[in-house]
Amino acid sequence: MTKIASKEREFDAVKQTVQIRARAGLTDQPLPAFARQSLETLLGRTIEGVAADAERRVMDQIQTHATHARGQAWLSEGLAYVQNNTCAPNLMRLFTP
């Protein structure tokens, strides 16, 4: 690197320093209000707790939609038809009149 190029880089650094100092400083941003106890409960959950909650919700859906006898099996079998996070077209035909 030539002396001129070196001095040009030094001068650019000085200009940037001046620009940075001229900028407005950071300001405090208020946090949104939240229920501390709820957050602590959420953060304190383990993967087992999350899995148990998910299982309970699925079972509630099965009960709600009266698929008690084959609900779990039906859901498990249906997962095989999921492609790219959507239902396969041939599966959709089964549910379309």
Give the pLDDT score at 95. Answer: 55
**To 10 degrees, the CA torsion angle through 23, 28, 33, 34?**
100
User: What is the reported pLDDT for 74?
Assistant: 77
Q: What pLDDT, on a 0 to 100 scale, did the predictor assign at position 9?
A: 92
Task: Write out the two tokens for 21.
Answer: 């100092």
pTM above 0.75, yes or no: no
Among 52, 49, 58, 51, smallest CA distance to 79 is for 58
- Can you give the pLDDT of all 97 residues of the chain as single tens digits? 798 989 899 989 888 988 888 888 888 889 888 788 888 887 888 888 888 888 888 888 878 876 767 777 877 777 777 777 776 666 555 555 4
